[in-house]
Amino acid sequence: MRGSAEPKLLLASASPRRSQLLQQAGFQFTVQSTDADERVLAGEDAVALAVRLARLKAEAASASAGVVVLGADTVVAAPNGELLGKPVDAQDAARMLRLLSGNCHQVVTGVCVRSADATAGRVEVAASLTSVFVQTLSDGEIARYVAGGEPMGKAGAYAIQGRAARWIRAIQGDYSNVVGLPLALACDMLAGFGILPE
């Protein structure tokens, strides 16, 4: 662990994928699960929604002075314009996968970094966008994937780092963004707060 004089990082997310990405990049951090009302506001696009939710999650974290908080939220923009969060049940997951089948969709992750220092506290937000091309899926493929449980808890009802990887024809943009945290962007933002990997 870093010395007490060094800034400390708090990840305001229970997502194991975000934790794995930060660990992979060499960061030391603690985790605190935070929640936000994920309903879409009128007129809100994918970037605005992802950034707003990332900020809400970061601001909901309880942190002491000297701690830097990282919040993130991922939204999938389906080809029909619908913004897809996490599926509410298996039927919803199958519906989302049918929307993505045979099409290109966008994955947007909003990132928020804030200082918990009340006197010098500052907040920075940004977003990363990646285009993902999915092959055409049969009803049977969708049903088997949903039955396996992997879509639950994932924006757009799929995990690119999981079994759904076999359906991804191409991506344009940051792969780690689709997993749940755009690492290059997050590292740059954290460096501005004095948080560096080991």
Give the catalytic positions in this structure: 73
Q: How far apart are CA 87 and CA 85, in angstroms?
A: 6
What does the DSSP assignment read for 45-106?
Answer: -HHHHHHHHHHHHHHHS---TTEEEEEEEEEEE-TTS-EE-S-SSHHHHHHHHHHHTTSEEE
**How far is CA 132 from its chain centroid?**
15
Q: How far apart are CA 9 and CA 29, in angstroms?
A: 5
